């Protein structure tokens, strides 16, 4: 499992490490806001388009080859900008990284399920999410140090080495998992499966969690600055958010596997907790920012492992790659949609109203699930 955790760390570190430092203070920084926006969108755009595709390929040929190929491609794409420092190759490198992550991220998620019995899915996804959260946390911090020391090329060089090392580690440590026989699936069959509550409910919860996380990381520093707080205080708040998410995920997974926490209850409480965090963000000052960061972190930490484990338990094992790829697409849409929603409302009114609108949307999810009698279901006896 350790190479899979390392793969999760790699995609998170690569995404946030570069995104947070493209506009930094190095000699090769991106100075045009239009170019910066394009480079940021390029990575996520590749993931939105390609994750479902590579997830389906993983089901067809096996998740391990897709994992290895994606990691090698990530290292190769990162090396492009290291070899030649040109704007065109920066675009190519970023696009290549996004495409490569689209391959090895859903493959790793599928392998987490294939290599663990159903009774341990909660713990496995909790640990996987923990190391991804560490990558999200260290990306901006360590990436900033590397860019300060040697510019973007040094950061890309480190990512080249990281991708190569994890690829070798996965080659040696991840066992061969042959693809399972699959019944013929029509487009209509796929549409029905993806429209089923067993897929839609956990995927919607993941999208909501990612939206709250992205809004917290992106806008809490803005709220802190507006309240007169310095960069150290606002940076600490974002670190609190990431730390809470990282610490809660393994514990939520273990509680689920032990039968102490059902998927429906855990995801519902997670959504309400994240909504409460966004509500706290409307309170001015350090107290509101810290409470918001902690509650958003705890809420997303509850949702992520339980929702992924619910997806794994409700999916035929021969279709795990396709399901995880489609679920990752939902997360990417939440990652982009949450900040866009809050920014749009804040532009028309003020930032606290943006937080409030997203909080209401997150809180509505559990209420609708109860009214419809559905929601996120786990394994038998509601265990994820």
| 382 Rama class: left (phi>0) / alpha (psi -120 to 50) / beta | left
pTM higher than 0.75, yes or no? no
Nearest to 280 by CA among 237, 232, 247: 237
Query: Mean pLDDT for each 10-residue chunk of the chain (384 residues)?
Result: 91 80 60 61 76 83 91 94 81 90 88 83 83 80 82 90 95 83 52 67 87 83 78 71 86 87 88 94 88 93 88 74 76 81 87 92 74 51 37
Q: For position 215, what pLDDT does the model report?
A: 86
Half-sphere exposure of 315 (CA within 13 A, CB side): 31
Report the 10 Å Cβ neighbour count for 81. Answer: 28
Query: Quick check: 4 and 64 in contact, CB under 8 A?
Result: no
Rounded to 5°, the CA angle 266-200-336 comes to 90
Gap between the Cα atoms of 161 and 159, Å rounded = 5
C-beta separation of 147 from 24 below 8 A: yes
Backbone angles phi, psi at 260, to 5 degrees: -85, -15
pLDDT of residue 271: 93
């Amino acid at each position: 499992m350790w190479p899979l955790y390392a793969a999760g760390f790699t995609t998170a570190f690569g995404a946030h490490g570069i995104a947070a430092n493209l506009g930094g203070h190095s000699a090769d920084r991106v100075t045009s806001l239009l170019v910066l926006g394009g480079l940021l969108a390029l990575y996520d755009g590749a993931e939105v388009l390609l994750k479902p595709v590579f997830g389906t390929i993983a089901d067809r040929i096996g998740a391990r080859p897709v994992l290895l190929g994606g990691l090698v491609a990530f290292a190769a794409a990162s090396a492009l900008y290291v070899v030649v420092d040109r704007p065109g190759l920066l675009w190519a490198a970023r696009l290549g990284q996004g495409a490569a992550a689209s391959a090895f991220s859903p493959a790793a998620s599928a392998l987490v399920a294939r290599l663990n019995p159903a009774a341990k899915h909660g713990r496995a996804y909790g640990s996987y999410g923990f190391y991804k959260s560490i990558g999200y946390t260290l990306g901006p911090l360590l990436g900033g140090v590397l860019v300060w020391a040697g510019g973007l090329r040094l950061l890309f060089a480190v990512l080249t080495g990281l991708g190569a090392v994890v690829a070798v580690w996965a080659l040696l440590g991840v066992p061969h998992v042959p693809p399972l026989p699959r019944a013929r699936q029509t487009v209509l069959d796929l549409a029905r499966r993806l429209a089923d509550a067993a897929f839609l409910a956990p995927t919607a919860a993941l999208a909501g969690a990612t939206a709250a996380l992205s809004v917290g990381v992106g806008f809490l520093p803005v709220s802190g600055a507006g309240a007169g707080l310095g960069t150290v205080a606002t940076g600490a708040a974002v670190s609190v958010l990431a730390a809470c998410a990282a610490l809660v995920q393994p514990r939520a997974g273990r509680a689920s596997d032990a039968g102490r926490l059902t998927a429906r209850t855990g995801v519902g409480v997670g959504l309400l907790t994240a909504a409460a965090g966004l509500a706290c963000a409307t309170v001015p000052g350090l107290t509101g920012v810290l409470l918001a960061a902690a509650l958003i972190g705890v809420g997303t930490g509850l949702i992520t492992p339980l929702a992924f484990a619910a997806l794994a338990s409700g999916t035929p094992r021969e279709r795990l790659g396709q399901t995880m790829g489609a679920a990752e697409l939902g997360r990417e849409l939440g990652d982009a949609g949450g900040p866009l929603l809050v920014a749009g409302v804040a532009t028309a009114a003020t930032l606290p109203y943006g937080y409030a609108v997203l909080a209401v949307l997150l809180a509505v999810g559990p209420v609708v699930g109860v009214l419809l009698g559905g929601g996120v279901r786990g394994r038998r006896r509601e265990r994820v």
